[in-house]
Structure 1
Amino acid sequence: MTADNNPKIFIGRAEPEARQFDAWSHQPLLVSMEQGGIDAWPSSCRNGTCRTCFSKLERGQVRYEIEWPGLSADEKEQGYVLPCVAYPCSDLVLQHEGF
């Protein structure tokens, strides 16, 4: 999936608290969550390497603008994402593994 010149807005939900946020297609999920008032989501490097924000994508689709974020092929196949570098392509539900 590729970026669109016209940003789209999707509905995101952060679990386990079911907090809803606007997920913009032109910015990483973590930025959208913070703009939506979800500031407790763990993060550190914001470049896809430290894995602090490692999360399970329970529903929806994302894309990456970097060639290979800090996820193994198995993790990607199982639906894990790094919100600091993941861009939404649909409505989605995200679960942080540490919560």
Structure 2
Amino acid sequence: MSLHTIVLHPSGLRFAADDRTPLLLAAESAGIDLLSSCRNGTCRTCICRLRSGTATHLIAWPGLSFDEKREGYILPCVAVAQGDLEIEAPLARRIAFD
């Protein structure tokens, strides 16, 4: 299992993810908040667009249309990195711990 570097745009936040952990969970483990709700690939709250790299979904048909998949959209709650990624996630932010 290798680690991949994930870069979020426009914030420039970075985190590491392996090829088995959903991107949403890897981001949270690194102290980064991405929008989410259902966490099972249906609600689309976490939808992001890949700028570069390849990710695969852990479920057969996530809540994305054929056109969205073709245009590079992913659902980080059920997507895993296959290598380094750059992702458009405009509302990503560092989690503030009190």
Please confirm whether the aligned pair reaches a TM-score higher than 0.5, indicating the same fold.
yes
- Structure 2 segments unaligned to the other structure (5+ residues): 93-98
2:59 counterpart of 1:73: no
| Counterpart-to-counterpart distance in 1, 2:44 and 2:89 | 11
Equivalence for 1:34: 28
Give the one of 64, 86, 95 matched to 2:88.
95
Equivalence for 2:40: 47
| Structure 1 runs, 4 residues or longer, greater than 2 Å off | 96-99
Q: 1:16-68 deviations in whole A, cap 9, x for unaligned?
A: 110010011111000111111112x1000000000000100111101112111
| Counterpart-to-counterpart distance in 1, 2:89 and 2:31 | 16
- Number of residue pairs aligned between Structure 1 and Structure 2: 92
Structure 1 position 98, deviation (Å): 5.7
- Structure 1 segments unaligned to the other structure (5+ residues): 1-6
Amino acid at match of 1:62: A
Equivalence for 1:4: none
| Counterpart-to-counterpart distance in 1, 2:29 and 2:90 | 21
Distance change (3 Å), C-alpha of 1:21 and 1:98: closer
